[in-house]
Amino acid sequence: MISQNTLKYGFIAALVNIVIAIILYMLGPSSLGSGMFGGIIFMGINLIVTIIVLSILGARIRKDEGGLITFKKMFINLLVMVAVMLVVGSLFGYLLYGVIDPEWMEQAKEMALENMYQYKDQMPEASFEDTIKRMEDGFDTSLGNTLKQLLGSFILWTIFSLILAAILKKKEPDFAE
């Protein structure tokens, strides 16, 4: 049911995400904390790159299958590819930001919170406190939080995989000439 190259493609997708994470790491913590939208812009770029990579690799899976693949088979292959990408990427992120250099993420959190306090007067108090709490949780590099984020990411990428499988599926024509 799983294409021969699906695991390899999952590792390729993971490698792309790891390269992006290394670039972010090399740019320093200020790359996430610069302005209110610094992290959002980075996440948006990462999301677009990942969607493009998964789309290209999904098309490769269809090509590997001779150009014809059912929705179910495409979805399962995409899901395996996404699972590999997320597990490898999460493991790398945990090791880098949680074990090797936890100070990096702490500095990024401090910068982001500092920037957020500039907007305190423009938001209702309850909304501001909720935003601060969610930001602090987002910078938590503990194993438990990493696993929670992994599960959340898997759910979102499963939805994307359903959509991509619907686009990339290709069945044999009902009436061959």
Spatial CB neighbours of 25, under 8 Å, sequence gap ≥ 6: 96, 101, 104
45 assigned to some structural domain:
yes
Q: What is residue 113's DSSP assignment?
A: H
DSSP-derived 3-state class of residue 36: coil
**Helix axis angle, 6-27 relative to 38-64, nearest 10°?**
160
Number of domains in the chain: 1
Whole-number pLDDT of residue 158? 96
DSSP-derived 3-state class of residue 173: coil
160 assigned to some structural domain:
yes
Dihedral sign (CA 167, 171, 83, 7) = negative
Q: For residue 78, give the nearest of 160, 137, 12 by alpha carbon.
A: 160
Domain that holds residue 119: 6-168
Whole-number pLDDT of residue 34? 55
120 assigned to some structural domain:
yes
Q: Which residues of the chain have pLDDT under 50?
A: none
177 assigned to some structural domain:
no
Please give the model's pTM, rounded to 2 decimal places. 0.82
